[in-house]
Structure 1
Amino acid sequence: NVVTNAPEDAAAIVERLIAHPAVRRVNFTGSTHVGRIIAMHAAKHLKPALLELGGKAPVIVREDADLDAAVAAIAFGAFFNQGQICMSTERVIVHRAVASALVGKLAEKARTLVAASPAETSAALGALVSPQAAERVGALIEDARSKGANIITSGETKGAVMQP
């Protein structure tokens, strides 16, 4: 079943769905914030709930890894849907012996990824869900920089904002 609704109606609809007698259990994959709300409603109505919430989806790269294959997997996992999916690659744990080579190859790959309007069929990356999401990404980058991260490559925003 698919239920569509306006964002402002989401909380009320979720509560009604969970409260409905035909709903015997709740499975949810998504953010910790929304998961907490769903868990509270499920508990209130004594419904079992299985929640998969905002994991860190690591990739492990061993010393003997095929680095080109690792780069392809990391790039797909990190950039698919602009990283706006619950299972996007968020951490890379790499053996020290191949770390520099992997970082170089990842930077090369990232430089080839063009972000543009979803209407641009030649672009590998589309838009973030909102201007606030772009601000959040910028804040994460600045936080990492302030804690000593080295920015190896970066892109430019084109100033385009998707209109509703």
Structure 2
Amino acid sequence: MIRNATEDDLKFILDIYNDAILNTTTVYTYEQTDLEERKKWFYSKVESGLPVIVYEKDNEIAGFASYGPFRNWAAYQYTIEHSIYVSSKFRRQGIATQLIDHLILLAKVDGYKTMVAGIDSSNEGSIHLHKQKGFKHIGTLEKVGYKFDKWLDLAFYQILLK
């Protein structure tokens, strides 16, 4: 079931996000975050009218997703960048697919024109999912991150919503 996240979900969102920080190149940072930071992130989204959704399965938060401004200048107001995270326990069960479908629907309803995804170029699963959903590869920034003793390339994908 996909629903809007609540403050009660933030501990689970934090666990999923910190796992991504520590064990993947999904997030280009090194240090785990804390519940206070996730609360600030959550309420910033809520106050801005931006979605934070969760996928609940077997009474557990299996994944979460959101979108926000691509850039903060006025001319970018119709372009958003999204994020999707799935718990390692629930990967490869179609959860990311359902979360991205829901985000695309919300973005269309909210009147956005373009959705962007920044994906580590080694994340073949995410790239495959985005291509399946109609995202097109727009370009890759080479060696813009460094994690796990290797240089990381950031691939950008885009879908036109209207």
Q: Does the TM-score normalized on the shorter chain lie above 0.5? A: no
More strand by share: 2
TM range (shorter): under 0.3
Q: Using structure 2 for the length normalisation, give the TM-score.
A: 0.26
Q: Using structure 1 for the length normalisation, give the TM-score.
A: 0.25
Which structure has the greater CA radius of gyration? 1
**Does 1 or 2 have the higher relative contact order (CA < 8 Å, sep 6+)?**
2
More helix by share: 1
